[in-house]
Amino acid sequence: MLCATRYAIPKLHRFLLPSSNLLAFMPYTNRTRLCLLHSQPLPSRDAYKFDNVEDVVALFNCMVDMHPQPLIVELTKILGTVVKMKYYATAIYLYTQMESKGILPFSVTLNVLINCYGHAGQMGFALSVMSKFVKWGFKPSVVTFTTIMKGLCLNGKILDALDIYDKIVAKGFWFDEVIYGTLINGLCKSGKTRVALQRLWKMEDGLLDDALDLYFNMLDRGISPDVVTYTSLIYGFCHVGQWKEARLLLNEIVVKDIGLDVYTFNIIIDALCKEKMLLQAHILCDVMILRG
């Protein structure tokens, strides 16, 4: 079941305690170590190759059984760790365990849970967690709505995501680049790049002319599209073969000195390869290598 080992502990701690948050964990580390060591037989040599997720699960299980109960903030951090490893179903399971032991979530925990359900293709549950917010006396935040929006996009319900966007506006939350990024990506993914631009433009109360005008307009409003937003749009244009627009956007990134990252490069190289433009793809590959 679990392959917690004597050798796994230091590694586990390094993994879970990357920052100055060390102090918050200190009361639990020794107990955790004892728990892990006593619940499992000593490992064979092969046990060095353990799965990190299982270690995280082991830690979570230990903590959930502790008295006094650990802080929900700490449990939420561990859940977040599992999510970052993309083990969504596992995180959902852990949450269920936690709740069944009478440990109450707080707003961030619920946001994490919603994210998990979205990725697991269970938007029905994600939405019912929304109602739990009220039940537990918390208010859904802009993060909650953005997470729901992302989940809807992931599950092919782009129109519902746009409705959520309207709710964000109605709630009076101010826009930020993450909301834009989520929505733009969702729209571009569903092959509706034009709609994405129109929608963006509408957000900014302007007229749709072309992508360049749009970005200058956004800048004027104090919201600068970042590399994620650009990358999503480039993905959309590449996918419909509109190289001119893609190139224009790429040019903007360079002009604005926004760092291209591995996502951007991969998207463009992938598109070039699919268009059999291998020479250009190769050049970009070299650029990537040059930039380390």
Partner DNA sequence: GTAGGGTTAG
Interaction site with DNA (CB under 7 A): 19-21, 24, 73, 76-77, 80, 83-84, 107-108, 111-112, 115, 141-144, 146-147, 150, 176-182, 185, 189, 225-229, 231-232, 235, 261-264, 266-267, 270
Which CB, 47 or 99, lies closer to DNA?
A: 99
CB of 148 to DNA, least distance (A): 10
Which CB, 5 or 76, lies closer to DNA?
A: 76
Which CB, 177 or 204, lies closer to DNA?
A: 177
CB of 283 to DNA, least distance (A): 17
Which CB, 5 or 162, lies closer to DNA?
A: 162
- On the question of a cis peptide bond just before residue 68, with omega within 30 degrees of 0, the verdict is yes
CB of 41 to DNA, least distance (A): 33
CB of 189 to DNA, least distance (A): 6
CB of 106 to DNA, least distance (A): 7
Task: State the Cα–Cα distance between residues 234 and 239, nearest whole angstrom.
Answer: 8
* CA distances for 243 relative to 187, 233, 239, 258, 262, angstroms: 18, 12, 9, 20, 19
Q: Is 222 left (phi over 0), alpha (psi -120 to 50) or beta?
A: left
Which CB, 35 or 233, lies closer to DNA?
A: 233
DSSP structural state of residue 48: G
Q: Locate tokens 């969504």: which residue? A: 88
Task: State the Cα–Cα distance between residues 267 and 233, nearest whole angstrom.
Answer: 11
| CA nearest to 70, candidates 96, 37, 32 | 32
Task: State the Cα–Cα distance between residues 280 and 60, nearest whole angstrom.
Answer: 48
